[in-house]
Amino acid sequence: MGVGEVYAGWGQVLTVAMMAVALGFDAFSLGVGIGMRGIRLLHVLQMSLLIAVFHVVMPLLGLFTGEYVGHLLGRVAGAAAGGLLVLLGGHMVVNSFRSGDEEEARAIDHRKLWGMLLISLSVSIDSFSVGVSLGMFVSNVPLTVLAFGAAGGLMAIGGLLLGRRASRKLGSFGEALGGAILLGFGLLFIF
């Protein structure tokens, strides 16, 4: 193995690591917003594991789907994910200003399996687009998508725990702030 091959190998590792962290920032930001709403440690673990799984599955789906379909669906899926986050964030902001115990069954509940699945999917949509081009420049696809999953899961844990800690100090204002973060993040997805 020549020196050039070693540098090329490390360049690829660095590229994959940077992509994994970049994809994980979505999970981190979303985690802060949800954590500010209040979340149990069990739900932190469950949601982080789901995000990690989606960060592995979505790039693989993108890889197998192909470039044409990825461009076509990437825009629609990104807008749908953004819309979901806007609705969730807006609902959180409105609920933070309401007094009394009202039924929150209409909202996406991050404590229920379907809510966790929808949130995990919405934060992992961009991994699909990355997966479309993954086969063109990565030689070890399984290791790459596992790196994406690990980064997404770990950054989700960090965001959820940070938001959870901040919510204890901020009270009901924390839910409004968390909702505003999700609302802004959803708008970024859409636009």
Please report the pLDDT score of residue 49 as a whole number. Answer: 95
Reported as half-sphere exposure (CB side, CA atoms, 13 A), residue 72 has a value of 5
The answer to whether 123 and 27 are in contact (CB under 8 A) is yes
Please report the pLDDT score of residue 60 as a whole number. Answer: 87
Q: Per the structure, how many domains does the chain have?
A: 1
Please report the pLDDT score of residue 100 as a whole number. Answer: 47
Per DSSP, the chain holds a count of helices (H) and strands (E) of 6, 0
Per-residue pLDDT of the chain (191 residues; tens, 9 = 90+): 554 554 456 777 787 888 788 878 878 888 888 888 778 899 999 999 999 999 999 988 877 775 555 556 666 666 766 676 677 677 667 766 765 444 443 456 777 888 888 888 887 877 776 776 665 566 678 888 899 999 999 999 999 999 888 877 766 566 676 667 767 767 776 77
Residue 143 in tokens: 């290791």
Q: Judge if pTM exceeds 0.75.
A: no
Residue 85 in tokens: 């986050």
Please report the pLDDT score of residue 92 as a whole number. Answer: 64
CA–CA dist 156, 160 (Å, integer): 6
Write the single-letter amino acid at 95: N
Write the single-letter amino acid at 2: G
The answer to whether 23 and 152 are in contact (CB under 8 A) is yes
CA–CA dist 151, 148 (Å, integer): 5
Please report the pLDDT score of residue 104 as a whole number. Answer: 40
Which of these, 89, 78, 84, lies nearest to 184 by C-alpha position?
Answer: 89
Write phi, then psi, for 129 (nearest 5 degrees).
Answer: -60, -40
* Total Cβ atoms within 10 A of residue 146: 15
Host domain of residue 70 = 3-190
